[in-house]
Amino acid sequence: PRRLAGTNDTANPENEDAKDMTEDAADLLQTAFEQYRTNNFPEAEAGYRRVLDLNPVQPDALHLLGVLLKSQNDAQGALEFLTRAVAVAPDHAAAWLELTRLHHDASNWRDCITAARESLRLDPANAEIELMRAAAFMALRQFSEAAASARNVIVALPDNADVHVFHARCLMALKQFQEAVPSAQTAVRLAPNAADAQFVLGACLKRAGRIDESEAPLGMAINLDPAAYEALNDLADIHIERGDAASAIDCWRQSHGIKPYNLDAISGLCFYTAFDLRATATDLFQINRDWSQRLNAAAKEHVFPEAPQRSDPPDHKDKIRIAYIANDFFDHVTSWFLE
């Protein structure tokens, strides 16, 4: 525990009182910490608070009380005391680390990045902090920064397959599909039975135009995880590339059954079922109804103007948009949802 600066002037009664107070606070802090280690949380919290009664700016007491409150799911209390800890002790690495974790767990991404920057200033080799910062960048769609942080983590953890998968996903978000392949291949080499690694490799290869190479890892991902609906969607696209719409529809139906109303499956089904000789009028009605339900689900998450107005379709650029339009309102919803 940190101790307040003492003095050699023992003749001054005020200095003697301060020395006694410091020693009392140190003993209380040590006792409270031992209580925490043995899971006696109420006693530990009471001890930390007694230390703070003696010295409200004792950084270790502030930090440890914040940690305790975080472990008790009191995020607001933890935030208060950890923030106070780094305010009185800006170089308190442990407090900055816990503050970074707190913001990360609460999805406070911008605050997480700020705390991670201070944490890395004090502990630049800490891979956990760098990974939390990478996740925050990714969540904020700052993909270049996320990829850079992921590369730093790979240096520290070169044999961690999950980190390589994350790095590949960052590059995919940047549409650097060919560049993402080596990271995905490394992940598969390190964890050949990881469905996520197999899927990311297949997805990278497919989007890099290496269709024939992508099929095997995508199939392996589905074998390892039958709920891998994204892999099924990619396999459907491969079947379409090869002119096999019937097999593509089967993949999309499986995907839709696993993850109802996922956009790739529902849009593929809406378009290609119309050309499937096996499809009946009932099948077409069902797909149309599923699409409407998907739009309804999206609409509930979006606040629309009081009187939605028909507008020109958004710029298509290189995107494909498929939709069944029922009326002016759903025209508005579909334009928003697909954009």
pTM of the model as a whole: 0.74
Helix ranges restricted to H, the chain:
13-37, 41-54, 59-71, 75-88, 93-105, 109-122, 127-139, 143-156, 161-173, 177-190, 195-207, 211-224, 229-241, 245-258, 263-272, 281-300, 328-338
Per-residue pLDDT tens listing for the chain (339 residues):
333 333 334 444 444 444 445 567 788 888 988 888 888 889 999 999 999 998 999 999 999 999 999 999 999 999 999 999 999 999 999 999 999 999 999 999 999 999 999 999 999 999 999 999 999 999 999 999 999 999 999 999 999 999 999 999 999 999 999 999 999 999 999 999 999 999 999 999 999 999 999 999 999 999 999 999 999 999 999 999 998 988 999 999 999 999 987 888 888 887 777 666 676 666 666 666 666 666 565 555 544 444 444 344 444 444 433 333 334 344 444 444 554
